[in-house]
């Protein structure tokens, strides 16, 4: 659930994302299912406003444990915050930060090994769609994720209850 400006929702105000998330949650206090993916700095405040059956997802996490990765959020941080889901493979991260299929696959495998559930974003660019290569692009992205998932699953019993949802 993206918190976008919709005509039937409270307006997104100038006080920031946390206020907007809070207004949205207040407005939709009877919201059933789903969840949200607020920026990392607002995960705990948004999570605290949700009923227990509604979960939040982090927008990203780093590919490995520890190290000097300034500004990155580790899977361990998300687990410690009680955030059950992470969304990986965003199109803008692939395009602007050059995250390859293999890198996204590594991120998915590591997140799963730490007990997170993953929403994996796959999809084509407009250029790829127009040239008719959508299926090849999505297949390559999915193969990189699935290949690392099965390697991790075979190597770790932690992943036996893991979940991957693909978002196209």
Residue ranges covered by each domain of the chain: 59-167
Q: 59-167, which class in CATH? A: alpha beta
**What is the predicted pLDDT for the residue at 1?**
36
Residues 25, 46 contacting (CB under 8 angstroms): yes
Bridge partners for 120 per DSSP: 88, 166
Round to whole Å and give the CA distance between 47 and 103. Answer: 28
Work out the angle at residue 103's Cα, subtended by the Cα atoms of residues 132 and 90, and round it to the nearest 5 degrees.
Answer: 60
| Residues comprising the chain, all counted | 168
The pLDDT tens digits of the residues spanning 3-59 come to 433 334 444 444 445 455 556 555 555 444 445 688 899 899 888 888 888 889 999
User: Stretch 140-148: mean pLDDT, rounded?
Assistant: 89
Predicted structure pTM score: 0.72
């Amino acid at each position: 659930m993206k918190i976008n400006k919709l005509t039937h929702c409270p307006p997104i105000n100038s006080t920031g994302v946390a206020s907007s998330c809070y207004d949205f949650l207040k407005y939709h206090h009877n919201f059933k299912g789903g969840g949200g993916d607020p920026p990392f700095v607002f995960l705990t405040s948004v999570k605290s406003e949700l009923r227990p059956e509604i979960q939040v997802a982090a927008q990203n996490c780093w590919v490995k444990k520890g190290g000097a990765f300034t500004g990155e959020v580790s899977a361990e941080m998300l687990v410690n915050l009680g955030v059950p889901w992470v969304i990986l493979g965003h199109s803008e991260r692939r395009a602007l930060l050059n995250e390859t299929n293999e890198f996204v696959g590594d991120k998915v495998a590591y997140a799963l090994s730490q007990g997170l559930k993953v929403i994996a974003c796959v999809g084509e660019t407009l250029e790829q769609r127009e040239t008719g290569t959508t299926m090849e692009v999505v297949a390559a992205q999915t193969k990189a994720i699935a290949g690392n998932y099965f390697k991790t699953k075979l190597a770790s019993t932690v992943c036996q209850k893991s979940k991957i949802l693909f978002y196209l």
